[in-house]
Structure 1
Amino acid sequence: MSDTHTTLRSMHDLGLAAWFGGSLMGAFGVNGAAARVGDSTQRIPVASAGWSKWTPVNAAAIGAHLAGAVGELVTESPRMAAQRGVGRASTLKTALTVGALAATGYSRMLGNRLSRAGGTSVAGVTEPNQQTPQNVAACQRQLKLLQWAIPALTGALIVVTAYMGEQQKPGQVLRGMLGRANGLMHTPKTMAKGGGLMQMSKAMSRNGH
């Protein structure tokens, strides 16, 4: 079980690190370097070539992260049921993941549209100039927002993951379980049936506490 947890956590963390780092480097590095190309009609093709090279690596990183995240969700489900606050953090993490996936997918679609535009004159990869067609400029304006939204969302995922790691410390686990048990005991239905204590006991025994 320990080896399984290590593998899942490694997939989760390494995939997320590549997703975050790649998006940030792309915004600063790939797009920034392409904007310095002297020929304004070659700026989009240069950036498109760089992003195309990164896309398969990014897809593999996202896949590894998602596989690790799902695996961790399954293995940590008993603690989610028993420890107060873990469920809320997991819900927030899921929402951020969905948002990052949507932003990444839409960004790739916009990037493909720019790539098909060919040698269009632009001020930068995400900045049009006076010669840029309106449809290309519209894609650029959306990409300018998304290139920062993706690292912001994945960066927030890293922060939430760190917080959830803190929740796994013995003291936090104990306080969270006591808080959940206290909440269940003060619920009229569970007080009448004793369901809260029974659920708590089963969850703690599954978790080895």
Structure 2
Amino acid sequence: MSERHTALRSMHDLGLAAWFGGSLMGAFGVNGAAAQMNDSTQRLPMASAGWARWTPVNAAAIGAHLAGAVGELVTESPRVAAQAGVARASTLKTALTVGALAVTGYSRLLGMKLEKAGGPPVEGVTEPNSQTPSNVASSQRQMRMLQWAVPALTGALIVVTAYMGEQQKPGEVFRGMLGRAGGMPKGMGALMAMGAAKKKRMSMSGR
């Protein structure tokens, strides 16, 4: 059975990259650019139009990431069960994914509310001014926090994914298997020490 799962890894990584990158660019680029418009009544409509065009792409990216993540979890399930630390990392990754999905979904609901608000005067896309209706201002204040929560959570997912990639190195797998088994088998430590000493002597004699 092949140990390569290039398609699953590609779906996982590309989807997550688009999810993280799109949310970060939107917060800095779309919202930041719209806030520079001179007409304060056009700031929300301009940003809403940009986010609406990105939404289908973002949904596809999230779907690809989830499909790849589930596929990887299935293919790596034997190692999750046998290698110490992998199950804990998988649990953390799942929690971060659920959190990112929840924040992304709620952010989109707020975005739709702001989109339906039309063109009220605002200071920025996530900053109301004294003339902004109270319901719009409330959604903007929530969006101000959530626009950074999505890249923070997806960025944390990238870090955890990198850590889990390190866990797949042969040395890490070996130590994790021993850890899950309750420690190094009797005599294994002595054999490893003898092997290391022999390797050192051979290295020194070859100088």
Band the TM-score falls in, shorter-chain normalisation: 0.7 to 0.9
Looking at CA atoms only, which structure, 1 or 2, has the larger radius of gyration? 2
Q: 3-state SS of the aligned residue for 2:181?
A: helix
Residue 159 of structure 1: CA displacement? 0.1
Cα distance in 1 for partners of 2:12, 2:3 equals 14
State the partner residue of 1:112.
112
> In the TM superposition, what whole-angstrom CA distance separates every residue of 1:145-189 from its partner, at most 9, and x where no partner exists?
000000000000000000000000000000000000016x9xxxx
State the partner residue of 1:88.
88
State the partner residue of 2:22.
22
CA distance 1:141–1:2, shift in 2 (3 Å) = farther
- What RMSD in Å do the two structures reach over aligned CA positions? 1.5
Residue 4 of structure 1: CA displacement? 6.0
Cα distance in 1 for partners of 2:39, 2:86 equals 53
- Structure with bigger helix share is 1
Give the alignment's TM-score, normalised by structure 2.
Answer: 0.87
Correspondence 1:1-209 to 2 at 5 A: 2=2, 5-182=5-182
State the aligned residue count.
185
State the partner residue of 2:194.
none
CA distance 1:46–1:2, shift in 2 (3 Å) = farther
Residue 3 of structure 1: CA displacement? 8.1
Residue 87 of structure 1: CA displacement? 0.1
Cα distance in 1 for partners of 2:72, 2:2 equals 12
Q: Percent identity, aligned pairs only? A: 82
User: Gaps (5+ residues) in structure 2?
Assistant: 186-207
> In the TM superposition, what whole-angstrom CA distance separates every residue of 1:94-128 from its partner, at most 9, and x where no partner exists?
00000000000000000000000001000000000
Cα distance in 2 for partners of 1:3, 1:11 equals 17
Residue 2 of structure 1: CA displacement? 4.3
Residue 70 of structure 1: CA displacement? 0.2
Structure 1 letter corresponding to 2:65: H
Runs of 4+ off more than 3 Å: 1-4
